[in-house]
Amino acid sequence: MLRACLAVLVVGSVVAASTAAPYSIFYSGDDFPENEGWSRAVFDEPGGPGAVRSLNDGTFTIDSTRSDQIADIYRVSRSINPAPGEVFIAEWRMRVVQQSGFRNGVLAIARDNIGTLSFSVESGVLYNNNENWSVSLTPGEFHIFRIVSADMSIYTLSIDGMLVRTGLWDSRGLNRSFIGWGDNSTGANSLVVLDWDYLSFSVVPEPRMGFLLLVPFVAATRRNR
Of 28, 195, 223, 182, give the one whose Cα is nearest residue 96: 195
* Domain-embedded: residue 64: yes
* Domain-embedded: residue 179: yes
> How much is the pTM?
0.82
CA 96 to chain CA centroid, Å, is 13
* Domain-embedded: residue 215: yes
* Domain-embedded: residue 21: yes
Residues 99-119 have a mean pLDDT of 90
List, for residues 137-162, the tens digit of each pLDDT value.
Answer: 999 999 999 999 999 999 999 999 99
> For 19-23, 71-75, 164-168, which range has the lowest pLDDT when averaged over its residues?
19-23
Residue 214 pLDDT exceeds 60: no
* Domain-embedded: residue 106: yes
Q: How many CA atoms lie within 13 A of 38 on its CB side?
A: 25
List, for residues 38-71, the tens digit of each pLDDT value.
Answer: 999 999 888 788 899 999 999 999 999 998 888 9
* Domain-embedded: residue 139: yes
- Using only C-alpha atoms, the chain has a radius of gyration, in whole angstroms, of 16
Q: How many CA atoms lie within 13 A of 18 on its CB side?
A: 8
Pairing of strands 86-100, 191-205: antiparallel
pLDDT value of position 24: 93
Which structural domain, as residue segments, surrounds residue 193? 6-223
Q: Residue 70 in contact with residue 142, Cβ under 8 Å?
A: no
* Domain-embedded: residue 1: no
**Number of domains the chain is built from:** 1
Give me the CATH number covering residue 14: 2.60.120.200
**CA-CA distance, 51 to 73, in Å (whole number)?**
10
